[in-house]
């Protein structure tokens, strides 16, 4: 069921990478419905290690702040929450 989705996602990401446009792909870890924690960490162009998660609210906040900052850069940003 998800195989078709992941194949399409991979193809779309590859097309974007090769488009010549400026792009940013935000790749959140496993999404939760938890409240925002503001304990979000990023890993640039690298997969997060272990069983990481992040709340949808934290993804929304991070994305909003990134757009408003004007600091979008071509690359992939892995996003996850750090416990503690």
Indicate whether 61 belongs to any domain: yes
Provide the domain limits for residue 66.
22-81
Low-confidence residues of the chain, pLDDT below 50? none
- Nearest of 83, 43, 73, 80 to residue 58 by alpha carbon: 80
Indicate whether 76 belongs to any domain: yes
> Does the reported pTM lie above 0.85?
no
Indicate whether 63 belongs to any domain: yes
pLDDT at 49: 59
Helices within 1-84 (DSSP H only): 2-17, 56-69
Domains of the chain: total:
1
pLDDT at 2: 76
Indicate whether 39 belongs to any domain: yes
Three-state DSSP state, 3 = helix
Indicate whether 31 belongs to any domain: yes
- Nearest of 43, 61, 60 to residue 52 by alpha carbon: 43
């Amino acid at each position: 069921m998800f195989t078709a989705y992941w194949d399409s996602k991979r193809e779309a990401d590859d097309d974007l990478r090769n488009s010549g446009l400026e792009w940013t792909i935000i790749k959140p870890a496993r999404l939760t419905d938890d409240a925002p924690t503001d304990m979000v960490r990023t890993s640039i162009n690298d997969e997060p290690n272990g069983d990481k998660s992040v709340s949808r609210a934290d993804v929304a906040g991070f994305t909003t702040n990134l757009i408003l900052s004007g600091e979008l850069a071509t690359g992939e940003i892995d996003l996850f929450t750090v416990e503690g």
